[in-house]
Amino acid sequence: MPRQIPIDLPVIEATGRDAFFVSSANAEAVALVDDSTNWPGGRLLLTGPEGAGKSHLAAIWAADTGATALGAAALSGLAPPAPGAALLVEDVHALMGSRAREEPLFHLLNRATEAGARLLLTAREPLPAPALPDLATRLSATPRARLGEPDDALLTALLVKLFDDRQLAPTPKLLAYLLTHMERSAAAARATVAALDRHQLATGHKLSRKLAREVLDSKDISGT
């Protein structure tokens, strides 16, 4: 089979609730996010390593609640939330360490409380210490839901989803091989599937355990 030139086409990822697999590794965090009417103080901090599903779960919550979704960098100059509003702010870890970047988040936390608004924050862990002592106090008092590294059931489901996002159909034998030979993290699963996609396009080889072994042995997996 002739080799193809791999082209970086955009991957359309499924982000609905049906595409989010719940296992014992993340069930507690999912339950906390879903119970937003009972968040103490009306806010929750969702943390976890890169690729653990924070943005996916947060997007589900935003869709269910009609929340306005914002990146952390978009907080400067943000109008106070309306009474009873729901807001999602992603990647607040990117603000930490700079008083100028942290101040809009600090003000939002105060204004959300005053407005009785619900506020979901996402951050990678470990979350760096804030430069503003008052923000550190607010965040330490904010309940946290943590998405940890996946167990076997969740990692299998994640691999299937990642392959499906790329319109690839892995065999059960390939999935079993990856589970026992790749780094066991969500970020590694994402990088491994992307590398397999690149290599099968570049070499013309079919998706298989042999190709997976070649890719894992080559260490050509960005992000791991």
User: pLDDT (tens digit, 9 = 90+) per residue, 76-110?
Assistant: 989 999 999 999 999 999 999 999 999 999 999 99
Q: Determine contact, residues 199/65, Cβ cutoff 8 Å.
A: no
Q: Examine residue 33 and state whether it is found in any structural domain, yes or no.
A: yes
User: Which residue range(s) make up the domain with 209?
Assistant: 150-218
Q: Examine residue 79 and state whether it is found in any structural domain, yes or no.
A: yes
136 plus 49 within the same structural domain: yes
Q: Tell me, what DSSP letter sits at residue 18?
A: G
165 plus 98 within the same structural domain: no
Q: Examine residue 5 and state whether it is found in any structural domain, yes or no.
A: no
For the cut 80, the answer to whether the pLDDT of residue 8 exceeds it is: no
Asked which of 119, 146, 173 is the last residue of a domain, the reply is 146
- Residue whose C-alpha is closest to residue 101's, from 139, 130, 69, 68: 130
Q: Determine contact, residues 4/204, Cβ cutoff 8 Å.
A: yes
Q: Examine residue 67 and state whether it is found in any structural domain, yes or no.
A: yes
Q: Model-level pTM?
A: 0.83
Residue 45 bridge partners (DSSP): 121, 144
In tens, the pLDDT along 33-50 reads 999 999 999 999 999 998
Q: Examine residue 4 and state whether it is found in any structural domain, yes or no.
A: no
51 plus 133 within the same structural domain: yes
Q: Tell me, what DSSP letter sits at residue 38?
A: G
Angle between helix 152-165 and helix 172-181 axes, rounded to 10 deg: 120
134 plus 172 within the same structural domain: no
Residues sharing a CB contact under 8 Å with residue 220, sequence separation 6 or more, in sequence order:
195, 199
Q: How far apart are alpha carbons 195 and 204 in whole angstroms?
A: 14
